[in-house]
Amino acid sequence: MVRKTWLLIFCTLPLLLSSGCLGVTSLDDRAIVELLAVDWDGSEYEIQLSLFQAQENVTAQAGGETVQNLISGRGNTMAQAMESASSQAGKELFFANNELILLGEQAAGEQLNFLLTYLNANPQIRPSVRLLITQGAARDFLQEQASDQLAKNLLGTLENAQEEGLLSSAQLIDVLRQLEGPKGCAPIPIVGSGQEQLEQVVLATPQGIALVLQQREAYGASWLTDRVRARLLSVTDGSGEPVTLRASAGKGRIHLTETDPLSYTLELSVTLRVEESMAPIEPEEVPDLEHTVEQAIEQEVQHTLQATTLDRGLDLVGLSAALRQQNPSYYRDHREELGDLLQQAQIQVQVSARLERVGMQASQ
């Protein structure tokens, strides 16, 4: 009996003396990051952190308007910059709620692959966090856009641009996969101060910024990466009346000819739905509408391929992966010079558009 009593005391005593959950950080001791901005000046990293306004002593008033609260940090490494910012805040940095990362133009141009790998390795940072490059320094962009709604507004701008087909996914994990995959390049949106909508997209490689795509080229890049979800296209029907179509991209396919390993046929499928029309779409009008859309998309895609693959050897669409799969011997023999060879490629684009919901009611 005595032995059982001592055994019970021995088992329960640690529970009575323990302090519960050890090592837990309360919300009051955390600086909850809403937006992270990263700059690089050639020797040091500088970060700016926008914190959620709900925290104590975070809201700053200027002229009666609520502005974002920023803390900063500098260091020879990103870890040092993070530690510097944490010391300034007097709290532990918390990134689980961060949905947007801004990269200054120099940081993206010289340190892109390292930065993305470092950020992806942080267990708090979501793989789905959005990326956005700023024209010039991210620090200057933040200071000029003094608003506590900046992160929300920028996320809305990115979402709208993606819906419209101007850019493909801007998520950290998707960009990393494209950079580290066979394509070796990825489109990332870029924004300047005062811009209310995105107009350009950067085509990045692991080495940095390779090319800035203008709006038409950016649309073509989205078709090539199968990321168009709901782009609005304006065409005219058989009577000359305007028709607005909502287009989404299906899965593209790449074919090589048997006689020439650098001759490709790129097939893209597009689904169309009538968004608005002045009169009901008659069945006999459908082929002409589909053909008009096919021609417009083919021109955009060809223009983008010329600017990226044929002029720069950038494999935006994944031609090298198709070559490795369909002609592995040629790929092995010419792998080191593939970038130069792609500039000599013959690429035929075939778009197949299919219109759904024929006969919908006309707009009033």
Domain holding 306: CATH number?
A: 3.30.300.210
Tell me, yes or no, whether 87 and 169 share the same domain.
Answer: yes
pLDDT tens across 148-184, in order? Answer: 678 888 888 888 887 777 776 789 998 998 888 878 8
Give the single-character DSSP code of 237.
Answer: -
Q: pLDDT-derived band of residue 307, with 50, 70 and 90 as boundaries? A: very high
Domain that holds residue 168: 29-211
Do 202 and 152 sit in the same domain of this protein? yes
Neighbours of 283 (CB within 10 A): 9
Q: In DSSP terms, which residues pair with 269 in a beta bridge? A: 352
Of 3-7, 132-136, 141-145, 208-212, give the lowest mean pLDDT range: 3-7
59-73, 113-127, 214-228: least confident range: 59-73
Please say which residue of 148, 177, 211 terminates a domain: 211
Residue recorded with tokens 């490629």? 345
* Domain shared by 284 and 179, yes or no: no
Question: Does any domain span residue 352?
Answer: yes
Residue 95: what are its φ and ψ, rounded to 5°?
-105, 0
Q: Give residue 179's region: left, alpha or beta (phi > 0; psi -120 to 50).
A: alpha
Q: At what angle do helices 105-121 and 172-180 cross, to 10 degrees?
A: 100
Beta carbons of 292 and 243 less than 8 angstroms apart: no
**Shared-domain flag, residues 233 and 298:** yes
User: Are 253 and 155 found together in one domain?
Assistant: no
User: What is the chain's length?
Assistant: 364
217 in any annotated domain? no
Identify the pLDDT of residue 363.
Answer: 44
Can you tell me the mean pLDDT for 174-200? 83
Can you tell me the distance from the alpha carbon of 306 to that of 313, in angstroms, rounded to the nearest whole number?
Answer: 9
The answer to whether position 216 is within a domain reads no
Q: What is the pLDDT of residue 1?
A: 58
Chosen domain end from 180, 211, 242: 211
The answer to whether residues 265 and 346 touch, using CB atoms and an 8 Å cutoff, is no
pLDDT digits (tens, 9 = 90+) for 243-296: 888 888 877 788 777 678 889 998 888 888 888 887 788 888 889 999 999 999
10 located within any domain: no
Tokens coding 291: 């053909």
Quick check: 192 and 134 in contact, CB under 8 A? yes
In-domain check, residue 296: yes
> Which two structure tokens, joined as six digits, stand for 54?
């709900």
In terms of domains, do 85 and 159 share one? yes
- Angstrom distance (rounded) from CA 297 to CA 247: 10
| pLDDT over threshold 80, residue 229 | no
Q: Where are the alpha helices (DSSP H) in the chain?
A: 2-17, 78-89, 105-121, 138-144, 150-163, 172-180, 215-224, 286-305, 311-312, 319-326, 328-334, 338-342
82 with 203, same domain: the answer is yes
Question: In terms of domains, do 63 and 143 share one?
Answer: yes
User: 292 with 198, same domain?
Assistant: no
Number of alpha carbons in the 13 Å side-chain half-sphere of residue 71: 24
Say which residue, 53 or 347, is predicted with more confidence.
347
> Is there a single domain that holds both residue 123 and residue 270?
no
- Residue 11 in domain: no
Split into its structural domains, the chain has a count of: 2
- What contacts 73, CB < 8 A, 6 or more positions away? 46, 47, 49, 80, 81, 82, 83, 84, 85, 86, 87, 88
Which band of pLDDT confidence, cut at 50, 70 and 90, is reported for residue 146?
Answer: low
Asked whether the beta carbons of 181 and 175 are under 8 A apart, the reply is no
pLDDT band at 73 (very low <50, low <70, confident <90, very high): very high
List phi, psi (to 5°) of 154. -70, -40
Q: Which residue has 């961060």 as its token pair?
A: 98
Residue 58: pLDDT band (50, 70, 90) is: very low
Same domain, 182 and 235: no
Q: How far apart are CA 78 and CA 20, in angstroms?
A: 34
pLDDT given at position 130: 93
Q: Is pLDDT of 102 > 90?
A: yes
Please give the backbone phi and psi of residue 66, each rounded to the nearest 5 degrees, phi first: -75, 125
In a domain, 265, yes or no: yes
What's the pLDDT at 134? 92
Answer yes or no: do 200 and 335 share one domain: no
Q: Are 237 and 289 in contact (CB under 8 A)?
A: yes
Query: What SS3 class is residue 293?
Result: helix
Closest-CA residue to 32 (of 84, 88, 92, 87): 92
User: What pLDDT does residue 248 have?
Assistant: 84
The answer to whether residue 141 sits within a structural domain is yes
pLDDT at 81 over 90: yes
Final residue belonging to a domain, choices 211, 243, 267:
211
